[in-house]
Chains A and B, each alone.
Chain A
Amino acid sequence: MELGEEELTSSVKRYYKESLKHSLGQCDFNFVLSDPRLPDNPIVYASEGFCSMSGYEHHEVIGRNCRFLQGPDTDRRTVLEIRDAVREERPCQVHILNYTKHGNPFWNLFYMAPVYSRKDGTVVHFVGVQTPFSAAATAAAAPLASKKLNLMDAEKRKEARSECLQQIQGEAPMRVWFALNEIQGCVCFVEADEQEDNHKCVAKDEDKGRAACAVQTILCNLMENSRIGGGGRGVAETRCKEIAESAVGGVVCSSLMLSLTRIQQSFVLADPKLPDIPIVHASKVFCEITGYSQEEVIGRNCRFLQGPDTDPEAIRKSIAGEHACTVRILNYRKDKTSFWNHLHLSPVRSATGEVAFYVGVQLAMDIVDSAGDENVGMTPYMKQLGAVGAVKVAVRSLQGSGLRRSFKKNSEE
């Protein structure tokens, strides 16, 4: 899914004044801003420092998800931690092994913090600050240079093994593992760190302090330079409304949005608890098919697609009965041209078990009729159902409080 340059730049323009560029340019931290309301949470701003740290050019970075910094030895559980912070819409601080463009690994103290809208409490951007560090003096954390001994001799190998055993027997907290590479005949010692529950480097306190300070500075910059007026009220570093509260008002939270933008079909979500069941989300493909923009569609009931020759009875019945239905309905685009819409409607429930939305997946019949071999690949009808399934999976866990943890989250580790 290619992102237009316009979308990426407008992500920043929409919330901040021009002065932000200058302000952020003064900070010499390595950081990025990403937008979770765009597909795959892409980087929309990257500092000079980030580019020189990572070895990438500016244009190689904008529009991509920050995971390109990860590599083969990056701890998978740490990646889960970051992914879950995005899902729970909260800050996180992790020690993660990253890689430069040229494949050089480096330890990165990665601090991530959400930037919330003052208007509706949703996450507008994530700030990600990277602080490369070397191991703290207390923990013998970095891998030692491998001792390449020429040990073709079996006796010498046996000696090396027992030497190693003796070494570790004396040192209780140290965990040592080594690999004996028969082919090269060498013994490599890799010393692990002492920490009970991680096998990665630990940053010094001064690095942690620097990182925390960087995050604060950037957040302050964002707040000071945020746009107010025209419906916006600026941004904040803390939520003004809990996710569940915003959801009641028909706002789609950023983590749900991130799942919805993965669905490559035309669909809308409508909220039956609000007056006149307005649309709360419309997919990009919907906008392409109908010719309307998202702003023109959100908040309106779907009937604006109907025209003089449409019969909406089946839709009404489906909503009344809380069951799925498929109707063939005549719809009209913004330019007044009509198309037969094979519309599939289904109720979608949240974690409470109650209906949170109705999803309507549109299929323009002229597209269907020109489809190829019916036996190969998914039919357009199947793709419609696939969209319904994907929406149901996302909404169940991500709508309202969903399946997010409920304890008070600290910003300190």
Chain B
Amino acid sequence: MLTIKRVATLVSFNQELEQATGCGRDCLGSCCMPGAKLPLYTFRRQQIANGKNNAYSNGDSHKAANGDTALHNYELHELSQGFVENSEAANGFLDSLLLAQWEDRMERGLFRYDVTACETMVLPGEHGFIAQLNEGRHSKKRPTEFRVDQVLQPYDGKKFNFTKVGQEEVLFCFEESEDGTNQYYEKAPVSESPNVIAINVSPIEYGHVLLVPRVLNCTPQRIDPDTFLLALHMAAEADNPYFRLGYNSLGAFATINHLHFQAYYLTAPFPVERAPTTPICHHCKKGGIKILELGNFPVQGLVFEIGDNLEDLANAVANACIYLQNANIPFNVLIADRGGRVFIFPQCFGEKQARGEVDQEILDTQVNPAVWEISGHIVLKRRCDYDTATEESAWRLLAEVSLTQERFNEVKKHCLTAVFEGPNKAMSMSTIASNLHPMEMNAAVLNGQAEHCLLLQA
């Protein structure tokens, strides 16, 4: 068993409190939720304009600041052409709501510190790594042990989980609407197991929230197509290229084993979003999603780009992640570009750390390379690290996270098999393939049912 010791970040004030049965504290557990009323935002599933073309975000979704959904002439025109990129002249509904609620909690003093008072800068260089000095985020608690060699672990109700979060830390519930409108309700009866959006009381940036799908289902931290689709919907609904969602698996620096995504605003591109990509595959049957590989970036990763609908993208990404989970490979996922680009990073930093293979200098910075760090946004605890941070030091840290070229190539092949033929096929192939030469591996795939799209590499 491989473990590392680290101090878990405080994401909710109830994390520090003693476990109590029947809390009387207005939490999100089955003790307080039935009959509770919370703010609710309902979103409408986006229409597909032309079948083929990219219309995951249509022209009128965010004129809804006052519920107006009329299309102007030029938007109708754009829809008939099939493609609309949506950063219009105004902030969208979900965007405004999220910012408003967050600012409200800010002014009510619900955060441990003011994150906007933390210095931040771009490290000189072409990649644009973003560093922040955040001395307040670090909790004074004792470090606890975390397993880094088991990506799937059963849910443990005795450990901190999101049912223990206080209702005032919830900004609103996020549900698909039943009547095809997007609307906000100040107080609505909660559903059986709502999707909640809660604040992170130790924010990395303005607007840092946690998306907890189906909070009362008590699902452990793992990716599945339905909840991943919800996360994509949130990105699409916010309709803001500077609002991203992130996911860390266990073993890749998630500390709470209760299914959740994180999100926040930062009006700057992440270095990973700037990195060049090489196409591997174009899946013309599965909604035209594209799969590419990252280049010129310290961490190896796969990039999935939307075709004409979110569902196919969610299924493809989820299949790849399910393979990684079953193969016990820790990974991180970044949802960017309004849900149009998803990055998957298999990683091995935790394992290296547990084996004592990481430079002490890097360990001293106490940076845990999770999804935000890998994307290029690095929060530093010590002034000395912040003042001496450079593009090279960031690169060096992230290079430790990455799988080797060979290992990544293997993992990539299995992920692609998982995407096109299902994760079970990928698992069975990965046990056979460890003995096969790469070209033989392709032949094996070819002789299988790879009818939709093939991976071919010179």
Contacts and interface: CB of A to CB of B under 8 A. Distances in A.
A115 B282 CA distance: 40
A171 interface: yes
A124 B307 CA distance: 36
A103 B456 contact: no
Nearest to B102: A389
Contact of B96 (A87, A346, A390): A390
A48 B238 CA distance: 37
B266 A403 contact: yes
B246 to A, nearest CB: 17
Interface hub of A39, A180, A394 (most chain B Cβ within 10 A): A180
B276 to A, nearest CB: 4
Nearest to A195: B278
B269 interface: yes
Interface string B418-458: 00000000000000000000010011001000011111111
B458 A175 contact: yes
Nearest to A389: B99
Contacts of A178: 454, 456
B122 A405 contact: yes
Interface in A365-408: 374-379, 382-386, 388-390, 392-394, 396-398, 402-407
A67 B97 CA distance: 26
Contact of B81 (A71, A181, A397, A398): A71
A393 B268 contact: no
Given A165-B442, A262-B91, A396-B206, A60 B74 contact: yes
A177 B91 CA distance: 40
Contact of B116 (A76, A103, A353): A353
Contact of A76 (B117, B266, B340, B454): B340
Interface in A146-193: 161, 164-165, 168-169, 171-182, 190, 192
B201 to A, nearest CB: 17
Contact of A392 (B97, B186, B206): B206
A192 B279 contact: yes
Interface residues of A, number: 83
28 contacts: A1-B90, A39-B89, A40-B87, A80-B241, A80-B274, A80-B337, A81-B274, A87-B267, A161-B454, A165-B442, A165-B446, A175-B456, A177-B281, A177-B455, A180-B451, A180-B453, A182-B452, A262-B90, A349-B114, A352-B119, A377-B67, A378-B96, A385-B103, A389-B98, A389-B102, A398-B267, A403-B122, A407-B124
B107 interface: yes
Contacts of B118: 353
Interface of B: 52-54, 65-67, 74, 78, 81-83, 85, 87-91, 95-104, 107, 114, 116-122, 124-126, 128, 130, 183-187, 205-207, 241-242, 265-269, 273-274, 276-285, 292, 295-296, 305, 308, 337, 340-341, 439, 442-443, 446, 451-458
Contact of B284 (A79, A87, A181): A181
B125 A386 contact: no
Given A72-B83, A259-B267, A396-B116, A174 B100 contact: no
Contacts of B91: 262-264, 386, 390
B103 A388 contact: yes
Nearest to B294: A197
A1 B124 contact: no
A17 interface: no
B284 A385 contact: no
A304 interface: no
Contacts of B120: 351, 353, 396, 403
Interface string A318-355: 00000010000000000000000000001011011100
A377 B94 CA distance: 11
Contacts of B242: 393, 397
**9 closest residue pairs by CB, A with B:** A389-B99, A386-B100, A197-B276, A397-B267, A39-B89, A40-B89, A403-B268, A386-B96, A1-B89
B89 A182 contact: no
A407 B96 contact: no
Contacts of B267: 87, 259, 393-394, 396-398, 403
A413 interface: no
Contacts of A259: 267
A265 B454 CA distance: 51
B82 A71 contact: yes
A316 interface: no
B70 to A, nearest CB: 12
A116 interface: no
Contacts of A393: 99, 206-207, 242, 265-267
Interface hub of B268, B274, B279, B284 (most chain A Cβ within 10 A): B268
A405 B442 CA distance: 42
B456 A168 contact: yes
Interface in A20-65: 39-40, 60, 64
A403 B121 contact: yes
Given A180-B453, A407-B124, 9 more contacts: A83-B241, A172-B458, A175-B458, A197-B296, A349-B117, A376-B186, A388-B99, A403-B121, A403-B267
B117 A353 contact: yes
